Amino acid sequence: MTRRSWVLAGLLLSVPAAVVGVMSIAGCGNNTSPPAVINPGNKGEKDKVTADIAPPAEAAFKKWKKPAAVLVLSGEQHGYMEPCGCSDTQSGGVARRDDLFRQIREELKWPVVGLDLGGIPKRERKQSVIKFDAIRAALTEMGYAAQGMGPDELRLPTDHLLAVGQPAEGEAAKHLSFVAANVVLFDSPDLGTPLHEKVVTVGDLKIGVTSVLDPAMKSEIVPEGGAGENFRIEPMEETIKASLARLNEQKPDILVLLSHASNATSEKLAAAFPDFDLIVSAGGYEEPEQAPIRSEKPMILNVGHKGKGVGVLGIYPDDKKQPLKFEFVNLDKWRFKETAAMREHMRAYQQRLKDEKVAQQDGELSHPSGNRFVGAAKCGECHKKAYAIWSKSRHAHAFESLETGGKEYTEGDKKGTPFVSRIYDAECLACHTTGWNPQEMLRFEGGYLPPEWVDGTDAQKHMKALRGNQCENCHGPGSHHAELDEKWSLDPKSVSEEDLTAARREVKLTVAIAKDKVCFKCHDTDNSPKFKTATFDQYWEKVKHQGRD
């Protein structure tokens, strides 16, 4: 049967009621009823989970007949290489995605390939470039063949995109190619990256794929009116038409468009280009619905954000009633485990962060107060009771968890699994040490750096004293307060009451302000999904400290 005859027979979905997931009330993967995927877990073995997290339902894939080919579809990862935060119950991560590929390829023995919409990086800084490379290396090992370009990619240095887009000699067949019908780098279509389109063979099927970036998104890349000198975004319609013509010359069985555009724009493209069988569209919800945006040909799908899950499409060319079956797969902790291959990618990524001193190279911020960080031990000289409470808290041992992985790796279900240290990773140091802006993930001047990166014994000793999430992350740097109080204690007449009171007020923090404006900077929906305003009082009881002594 030819591609045209079976595709025109109709596109139907296989979405059992049991696999429909519940949207998270937190921002990141804290599902109360995760959708079903491949493995139901170890029967008879009870998972140690919190009361509001349920183990997944029975696997739906076991009800599928063997497809001729499987496409794993992802996009808009936005820098989330691991589950989208620090919580063990959150969804996502390249390690679990690799396990999904392993299960499809080795256990189910289905031919599979990955396609990514684009949107892999998150920020415009050196760490983002390094993480972008690490994620692409991970996707390549999984079996991804093509990646589209979104605004996130084009905010990275264009010469770097050009370099990583070129396969090494003899590696073209395994290379994760950029595809983009309407993006031109350095204003030259002859530089070889991105490709306009690519044809990939999966099993006995040929998959033709191209990508498009809505020119309206240029304002997300450069300021309004900016030139965008290193790239050009051409009109979509003309370039898609040309790309389709080239793809059809190779007689693919399936045509896929990776559309970095709004769902509304993707629907217009579907109407204009009915030759496509599938359009993977940007936008939509962080955890998308199981049903597609459009079920008729071309089918339009969202695949979520932050790598929390992926879309899986089974292709059945001989099935006139259901030639395509789709399911959105939540990458939860119960069915998907960390793979050794992805652990090595994480190790290489962390080693590069260390070697290139990225936490230092990405710059620093001036603290609004103008004061310096002195460390919790200094605070404890006067605030003895508060210091004693802090010393026994998890805040005090936050840095240690970057070295060992915490209870998850020493007592939990990963006990015995080698943990990759994160002690040089700015995205972790920002909440696990003292003197960082946790939302920007940039260091304040004088904030923590790995001691070996600073000169002098005293400076190194000071940096060690800033490990852990200490007093000054909440109260602000205490140098002015400490200096005036020490001066006053030696000679009360040497400091005016007005100056002393003002310095003390600088570091005063009420519970109400902490609740509304401070704690969420680290305890956000990514990194602490159970920390909500409604439960603040429960968390406060664990670190409650009031008064000077």
pTM of full prediction above 0.85:
yes
445's tokens? 């001047």
| pLDDT above 90: residue 536 | no
Tens-digit pLDDT profile for residues 471-496:
999 999 999 999 999 999 999 999 99
Tens-digit pLDDT profile for residues 209-233:
999 999 999 888 875 544 456 888 9
State the average pLDDT over residues 397-402: 95
| pLDDT above 80: residue 363 | yes
User: Taking a C-beta distance cutoff of 8 angstroms, is the pair 314, 324 a contact?
Assistant: yes
User: Taking a C-beta distance cutoff of 8 angstroms, is the pair 270, 294 a contact?
Assistant: yes
Tens-digit pLDDT profile for residues 281-305:
998 888 888 888 998 999 999 999 9
- DSSP string covering 397-413, please? GHHHHHHH-THHHHTST
Amino acid type, 171: E
With a pLDDT cut of 90, the percent of the chain lying above it is 64
Tens-digit pLDDT profile for residues 244-286:
999 999 999 999 999 999 999 999 999 999 999 999 999 888 8
> Strand, coil or helix: what is 213?
strand
Q: What is the pLDDT of residue 190?
A: 60
| pLDDT above 50: residue 467 | yes
Average pLDDT along the chain: 85
Backbone angles phi, psi at 227, to 5 degrees: -80, -35
**The 3-state secondary structure of 264-281, one letter per residue:** HHHHHHHHHCCCCCEEEE
CA atoms of 429 and 438, how far apart (whole Å): 9
| pLDDT above 90: residue 67 | yes
Split at pLDDT 50, 70, 90, the class of 41 is very low
Amino acid type, 178: F
User: Taking a C-beta distance cutoff of 8 angstroms, is the pair 546, 42 a contact?
Assistant: no
User: Taking a C-beta distance cutoff of 8 angstroms, is the pair 434, 448 a contact?
Assistant: yes
| pLDDT above 50: residue 52 | no
What does the radius of gyration of the chain's CA atoms come to, in whole angstroms?
A: 26
CA atoms of 79 and 306, how far apart (whole Å): 7
Q: What is the pLDDT of residue 411?
A: 83
Could you tell me where in the chain the CATH 3.60.21.10 domains are found?
3-21+30-341
State the average pLDDT over residues 310-319: 93
Q: What is the pLDDT of residue 348?
A: 98
What is the CATH class of 3-21+30-341? alpha beta
In this structure, the number of other CB atoms found within 10 A of the CB of residue 523 comes to 18
71's tokens? 């496409």
CA atoms of 49 and 40, how far apart (whole Å): 16
- Measuring CA to CA, how many Å separate 415 from each of 174, 405, 432? 34, 10, 22
264's tokens? 């509304």
